[in-house]
Structure 1
Amino acid sequence: MEQAYKSGFVAIIGRPNVGKSTFMNHVIGQKIAIMSDKPQTTRNKIQGVMTEDDAQIVFIDTPGIHKPKHKLGDFMVNVAQRALNEVDAIMFMIDAEEGYGRGDQFIIDRLQNVDRPVFLIVNKIDRVHPEQLLPLIDGYRERYDFAEIIPISAIQGNNVEHLVHVLKEHLPEGPQYYPEDQITDHPERFIITEMIREKALHLTKEEVPHSIAVVMDSIESREDSDTVYIQATVIVERPSQKGIIIGKQGSMLKEIGKRARKDIEILLGSKVYLELWAKVQKDWRNHQRQLSDFGYNKDEY
């Protein structure tokens, strides 16, 4: 009898810098999450899609759950908390080298209200002696009833295959949500284009009303640089609007970019090089295909 296809969503939670993004990039096989030694690199949910012959797992790398110190922190914790109730399983990742900390108790308290299987993932086992693991694991076991405790090294790939196998066993039967060649759904792309659009609308006011769309042309972080490079195009409906968006000697487009860049740097937690263009696509708001291309669903328009 043919085995049923499994699919589902798995949230990865844990204190900042325990290796969530490293795990995601390893298991997907490509760099999709920004990795940094700065805390709070991941400001929004980033989904990584792993498709195999018998299953599809959508990993959600959430912002680190931590005690918020400001409104942005509140937002990030709320994003992570909501993710816990929308998934099929939860990976609570800890750093074997650092061991138990107050931040972990904050997360364990949040998990008390969750009715999904929670797996304790002890990461960075390559950095500690095996004898140190047992007392560490016992300490966590006393604090929460984990479905299973799995030691791994995300950076070296140790035991990651076993972890994926265990997750598959706990996933429901279901469809393939994403095409097999799609490895990510980058929500930050949408947020970045909205930030640029917001600045364009704010600066041009009534002159160029809602006939502005922004399309992300490329976003990349290069290994030799801590800067994220972004290229985007501001779409308008008429040549006269394009002139307004560009401004005298490019001054308006430069100001839009300058203001948007500040917000994007806060969102991504890194330096940003932003390059903008302006382009006319006549009457785009009345063409469903273009609306879809620009990220607007028919039902919302």
Structure 2
Amino acid sequence: MSTPDQPYRSGFVALVGRPNAGKTTLTNALVGEKVGIVSNRPQTTRHAIRGVVHRPAGQLVLVDTPGLHKPKSLLGQRLNDVVRDTLSDVDVIVFCIPADQPVGAGDAYIARQLKNVTTPVVLVVTKTDVASKKAITAQLVAASQLVEAREVVPVSAVAGDQVELLAELLVGMLPEGPPLYPQEQTTDEDVERQLAELVREAALEKVRQEVPHSLAVSIEEIVRKPDPRDAEAVFTEVHALLHVERASQKPMLLGKGGQTIKAIGSEARAGMEVLLGGRVHLDLHVTVLGEWQDDPKKLNRLGY
């Protein structure tokens, strides 16, 4: 709790790193609940997700950004633009580097971007639960040589190691100010986008390697009505489209006898029922939206 000696602090913290560096898992761990989808596939995060961390001494608004990378499409360029726009408008930058992978060209590329900003940087070596102590020490040294950082912290979001320490450290670096969000709010993501992301997360886990980059999800309709099983509850119908770029990718999402799309729907629906607090009927259809990653109009339509 804030005191005259320790005034309340609030502000924005951006998490950056190459694809699959553990940014979203760390965001979810700091918030204390799931605000962003997680997958071992690169480019899982495609827009800036805000997670709100409430602590007695202050409020952190975490901005989980897409992984910075050398873009191969217009979508890739736009994802990088999201990150760069975010970096210019936050109080602290958390640069995530995974402990289980060598520091490489992708990390060096991000470090070069950070040299152009005056915002203080905290280096976080993530995924320490899957690396040896020797590897973690070596990674801390290698990461420290990449960029000038205010602090360097090893963290395991999965095991919870040093997550609270990191939260306290980040709160202490924020400017004095009142809470920016109500105490009960943990994200500013709208429901439609959260529902679409739950479908995409389920699909990423069920399809082959060549589909994820070409996959986008849009919500066509959300219908809320009284639940016939419980007069006091709400029953929600969600109609969603899974967009792929080529006709050859459509059968991969459908699966033999429709088994894959059924599995995607079952997993996504479970997450939706937790999010919405009631029963959900999920209707999924797969469509071909040719080369949408390089078409400005199609990207705009999909919200990128």
Structure 1 length normalisation: TM-score?
0.66
Distance 1:43 1:220, change over 3 A: closer
1:146-196 CA deviation, whole Å, 9 max, x = no partner? 11100010111101111111111110001111101000011684xx6xxxx
1:230-252 CA deviation, whole Å, 9 max, x = no partner? 57349xxxxxxxxxxxxxxxxxx
1:131-154 CA deviation, whole Å, 9 max, x = no partner? 222332222222321111000101
Which amino acid is the alignment partner of residue 168 of structure 1?
V
Partner Cα separation in structure 2 for residue 129 and residue 102 of structure 1: 22
Structure 2, unmatched stretches of 5+, are: 205-216, 224-238, 245-252, 254-260, 266-281, 285-304
Offset of 1:41 from its aligned partner?
0.9
Partner Cα separation in structure 1 for residue 23 and residue 107 of structure 2: 14
Structure 1, unmatched stretches of 5+, are: 193-215, 235-256, 264-269, 277-301
Specify the alignment match of 1:7 in structure 2.
10
1:79-108 CA deviation, whole Å, 9 max, x = no partner? 001101100001100110102011001100
Partner Cα separation in structure 2 for residue 56 and residue 17 of structure 1: 26
Specify the alignment match of 1:232 in structure 2.
221
Which amino acid is the alignment partner of residue 171 of structure 2?
K
Specify which of 181, 185, 194 is matched with residue 182 of structure 1.
185
Offset of 1:262 from its aligned partner?
2.3
Moved over 3 A (4+): 224-231, 270-276
> Aligned to 1:92, what secondary structure does the other structure show?
strand
Specify which of 93, 98, 112 is matched with residue 95 of structure 1.
98
Once the two structures are superposed, the pairs formed by residues 1-301 of structure 1 within 5 Å of their partners are 2=4, 3-186=6-189, 189=192, 221=198, 225-226=202-203, 230=219, 232-233=221-222, 261-262=242-243, 275=283
Q: Which protein is bigger by CA-based radius of gyration?
A: 1
How many aligned residue pairs are there? 222
Identical positions, percent: 39
Partner Cα separation in structure 2 for residue 225 and residue 136 of structure 1: 32
Offset of 1:226 from its aligned partner?
3.3
Which amino acid is the alignment partner of residue 65 of structure 2?
T
> Aligned to 1:185, what secondary structure does the other structure show?
coil
Stretch moving more, 11-20 or 123-132? 123-132
CA contact (8 A) 2:38 2:44 kept: yes
Partner Cα separation in structure 2 for residue 144 and residue 80 of structure 1: 17
